[in-house]
Amino acid sequence: MAMKVLREVGRKRSGAAWIGGSRGFADCAAAAMGVAERREGGGGTKAVNLFTAVNQALHIALDTDPRSYVFGEDVGFGGVFRCTTGLADRFGKNRVFNTPLCEQGIAGFAIGLAAMGNRAIAEIQFADYIFPAFDQLVNEAAKFRYRSGNEFNCGGLTIRSPYGAVGHGGHYHSQSPEAFFCHVPGLKVVIPRSPREAKGLLLASIRDPNPVIFFEPKWLYRLSVEEVPEGDYMLPLSQAEVIRKGSDITLIGWGAQLAVLEQACEDAAKDGISCELIDLRTLIPWDKETVEASVSKTGKLLISHEAPITGGFGAEIAASIAERCFLRLEAPVARVCGLDTPFPLVYEPFYMPTKNKILDAIKATVNY
Amino acid sequence: MAAASFTAAKFLAPALPARSGAGGDRAPSSFPASSAMRPLRRARPAHRLLAVSSDVLAGNKAAPAAAAAQPAVTREEALELYEDMVLGRNFEDMCAQMYYRGKMFGFVHLYNGQEAVSTGFIKLLNQPDCVVSTYRDHVHALSKGVPARSVMAELFGKATGCCRGQGGSMHMFSEPHNVLGGFAFIGEGIPVATGAAFAAKYRHEVLKQSSPDGLDVTIAFFGDGTANNGQFFECLNMAQLWKLPIIFVVENNLWAIGMSHLRATSDPEIWKKGPAFGMPGVHVDGMDVLKVREVAKEAIDRARRGEGPTLVEAETYRFRGHSLADPDELRRPDEKSHYAARDPITQLKKYIIEQNLASEAELKSIEKRIDDVVEEAVEFADASPLPPRSQLLENVFADPKGFGIGPDGKYRCEDPKFTQGTAQV
């Protein structure tokens, strides 16, 4: 499956660099920064790929908050995906350091660091390895503020992890575990689709006063290149973005899957089907209003994600929209997702929700 | 056997502080005197750091002690060891070639340089003994007896591979040879091995189904990075608590992708973690197959007699990068050349020739035979068919048709829409 390089497709946002929103930022720790005053410096943008955008965001995060730390396996030399290049040299080994191979330890350690008022930016080398950390994240990170009655919180926690298929990753370098975390009240899950989104969303996630799990689509680390503002900017969490306007059907996705959905939109347009494409960006808490408005307009919904279909996050969206837009829906909500098998080693293209599968589903839904 | 009384003398507790005590400690007297070899002991030179890293190389004038007389080994044994190591080396070299030609895909981790550990341990095992490994598992599978053609076909993703193409490089399993995998996730195999060891002990003591040799042994291989993982410690505890017939073998090659063991571990001497849990901990030069074999013999005998687990730290080195995608820029050239000079195959060859166990020509003929085996494996793998597409849905559950019957009365997995991802599950 050819991956198109994501350009600035359908970015309907105005040129303003800081897309402020009152949600989530009003109670940002004041010490963190005069973020409200921070605007895009100088207006310059540069074409960079995803890992460079993430790297820029980390540089800025460490620069602006002296109590932020980046750690994980192999981050010292730059990380296996080069996202942490230059950080150790610039900020020193006390703030950017390698951990031993113990995900559970890394997560718990990060929670402790965050609980004492620091910004802990932990990297889990592949999302497939996040499961030993799952206990700490679900049982500790998500519940810290709640069960201590706000005596303590680990809002400074951000977990960054590459997720998703990469073409040859096999069982343990390709998984999409976002659904597991979406089921946990107290955590936020954010997934960017492109370099510009990644930098803004990552900075917002780091500065958000809640624990955030930031999944980066590893397939796009090198492939996706976009003009990214060079300065400090943030994108709002819990706001979905309509990246392509249409009238016949609403498509929802996140991360790398959006590129596939976009190709499907182009092909569907040739058949006269006008698709509206929404990037959810934050999976939990997700922007129900935007999706509801879109489905009320089109009357049809298709959700696509790489994770297996049963119990995937698409199920939550489908159920919520069915509840909210029942009378407006003209066809059942379609989900085009991975199969209900472990991520396979061979025949990965047949497992994945490819453009053709999506096209078929679009046509089936529109012609229902 | 009578319950071993828990006295400190029974165990090779390290003399604390670590600097005291050179290599002269004797093993507990429970080891049978019939063992003609030196008892299990720590091969420790006087300096504290045993794993040689580039930092240590700089300050260390004395080379690690390797002057002890080599234990005797018969001609047949020596040739068997030689052949196995050459097979491991040639197979991995061929893997690299095939990878760069695009016949193999995904993440491939090669074992070059560490052959002595695999050969030294696994060649002493019998068929019912189990081996559990990591993602660097091709050679463990080969040493345990999985045919080279099965492993190569698995790497090519073909239906004739040992896992029918579903596992790939990092997941070599073989039921007839009791190879329990192949784990991409570090540390995940160790509890699995512990469970297998429990099963062996149960078979022997409760079901009385064991072989006359004693308990069936399980060996868990893993790396230095894994020795910092929680699962490792949990299993050390369980194995010693229940006196399981398991050997924990740490292949300490000093690097976990790009993290130096010395910078990631509070006490880099991993063997010391054994006595902390009550089991013997041994350090051995993993570049010398005869030394490894010595230690392995003792550990396996202990396990067979029901005396419980052993932790073995083998100092070894991987000549290639972490995986074929790793540029391997972080390791210093002097460290690499230090270990390249201790190539286990070269050392064994030298030993065989010097001890007149075989001639140069015989060794060459072994190498030639192995070349043919590996070539044949590639041809076999090339000629093998890819698995059918339906294999994507197989083996998720026990029932091969495990997704049940659809509303149309047919098996769901046979519904063409099923593989299109649009069918209802």
Q: What is the pLDDT of residues A68-94, one digit of tens each?
A: 999 999 999 999 999 999 999 999 999
Q: Is the dihedral of CA A92, A93, A94, A95 positive or negative?
A: positive
Q: What is the pLDDT of residues B254-310, one digit of tens each?
A: 999 889 999 999 999 999 999 999 999 999 999 999 999 999 999 999 999 999 999
* Model confidence band, residue A39 (pLDDT cutoffs 50, 70, 90): very low
B189 in contact with chain A, both atoms CB, cutoff 8 A:
no
Name the residue ranges covered by the structural domains of chain A: 35-229, 241-366
Whether the pLDDT of residue B18 is over 60: the answer is no
CA distances from residue B151 to B94, B218, B285 in whole angstroms, order as listed: 12, 21, 28
CATH class of the domain comprising A241-366: alpha beta
3-state SS track over chain A: CCCCCCCCCCCCCCCCCCCCCCCCCCCCCHHHCCHHHCCCCCCCEEEEEHHHHHHHHHHHHHHHCCCEEEEECCCCCCCCCCCCCCHHHHHCCCCEEECCCCHHHHHHHHHHHHHCCCEEEEECCCHHHHHHHHHHHHHHHCCHHHHCCCCCCCCCEEEEEEECCCCCCCCCCCCCCHHHHHCCCCCEEECCCCHHHHHHHHHHHHHCCCCEEEEEECCHHHHCEEEEECCCCCCCCCCCEEEECCCCEEEEECCCHHHHHHHHHHHHHHCCCCEEEEECCEEECCCHHHHHHHHHHHCCEEEEEEEECCCCHHHHHHHHHHHHCHHHCCCCCEEEEECCCCCCCCCHHHHCCCHHHHHHHHHHHHCC
What's residue B48's pLDDT?
34
B230 in contact with chain A, both atoms CB, cutoff 8 A:
yes
Q: Tell which residue, A202, A358, A239, A262, has the closest CA to residue A3.
A: A262
Q: Which residues of B touch A350 (CB under 8 A)?
A: 389, 392, 419
Shortest Cα distance from B219 to chain A (angstroms)? 21
Contact B184 A350 (CB under 8 A): no
Q: What percent of chain B has pLDDT over 90?
A: 67
* Model confidence band, residue A5 (pLDDT cutoffs 50, 70, 90): very low
Q: What is the pLDDT of residues B337-366, one digit of tens each?
A: 999 999 999 999 999 999 999 999 999 999
Q: What is the pLDDT of residues A188-228, one digit of tens each?
A: 999 999 999 999 999 999 999 999 999 999 999 999 999 99
Chosen CATH of A35-229 out of 3.10.20.30, 3.40.50.1000, 3.40.50.970, 3.40.50.10540: 3.40.50.970
* Model confidence band, residue B42 (pLDDT cutoffs 50, 70, 90): very low
pTM: 0.82
Over residues A46-52, the mean pLDDT reads: 96
A342, closest residue in chain B (CA to CA): B396
Which of A129, A339, A354, A365 should one mutate to test binding to chain B, selecting the residue with the greatest count of B CBs within 10 A? A339
B265 in contact with chain A, both atoms CB, cutoff 8 A:
yes
What's residue A244's pLDDT?
96
B60 in contact with chain A, both atoms CB, cutoff 8 A:
no
Q: Tell which residue, B174, B140, B128, B72, has the closest CA to residue B304.
A: B128
Over residues B30-52, the mean pLDDT reads: 39
3-state SS track over B48-63: CCCCCCHHHHHHCCCC
* Model confidence band, residue B22 (pLDDT cutoffs 50, 70, 90): very low
Contact B421 A101 (CB under 8 A): no
Contact B264 A132 (CB under 8 A): no
Asked, colleague to colleague, whether A35-229 and A241-366 share their fold, the answer is yes
What's residue B392's pLDDT?
79
B256 in contact with chain A, both atoms CB, cutoff 8 A:
yes
What letter represents residue A306's amino acid? E
A356, closest residue in chain B (CA to CA): B420
Q: First vs last Cα of chain B: how many Å apart?
A: 54
Q: Which residues of B touch A132 (CB under 8 A)?
A: 230-231
Contact B391 A361 (CB under 8 A): no
* Model confidence band, residue B56 (pLDDT cutoffs 50, 70, 90): very low
Residue A17's φ and ψ, nearest 5 degrees, are: -75, -40
Q: What is the pLDDT of residues A266-284, one digit of tens each?
A: 999 999 999 999 999 999 9
Q: What is the pLDDT of residues A294-348, one digit of tens each?
A: 999 999 999 999 999 999 999 999 999 999 999 999 999 999 999 888 999 888 8
Contact A346 B391 (CB under 8 A): yes
Average pLDDT of chain A, as a whole number = 88
Over residues B374-385, the mean pLDDT reads: 96
Contact B107 A170 (CB under 8 A): yes
Shortest Cα distance from B241 to chain A (angstroms)? 23
Helical ranges in B156-254 per DSSP H: 189-205, 230-241
Whether the pLDDT of residue A246 is over 60: the answer is yes
B422, closest residue in chain A (CA to CA): A336
Active site residues of A: 103, 173
What's residue B221's pLDDT?
97
Q: What percent of chain B has pLDDT over 70?
A: 77
Q: Which of residues 280-309 of B touch A (CB under 8 A)?
A: none
Whether the pLDDT of residue A31 is over 70: the answer is no
Shortest Cα distance from B28 to chain A (angstroms)? 34
Q: Which residues of A touch B185 (CB under 8 A)?
A: 128-129, 172
B422 in contact with chain A, both atoms CB, cutoff 8 A:
yes
Whether the pLDDT of residue B379 is over 90: the answer is yes
Q: Which chain A residues have any C-beta within 8 angstroms of a chain B C-beta?
A: 73-74, 76-77, 80, 98-102, 104-105, 128-129, 132, 168-173, 309-310, 334, 336-342, 344-347, 350-351, 353, 357, 360-361, 364
What's residue B252's pLDDT?
96
* CA dist., res. B425 & res. B422, Å (int): 9
Contact B396 A100 (CB under 8 A): no
Contact A347 B392 (CB under 8 A): yes
Shortest Cα distance from B279 to chain A (angstroms)? 23
Sheet holding A157-163, edge to edge: A96-98, A68-72, A119-123, A157-163, A212-217, A188-190, A282-284
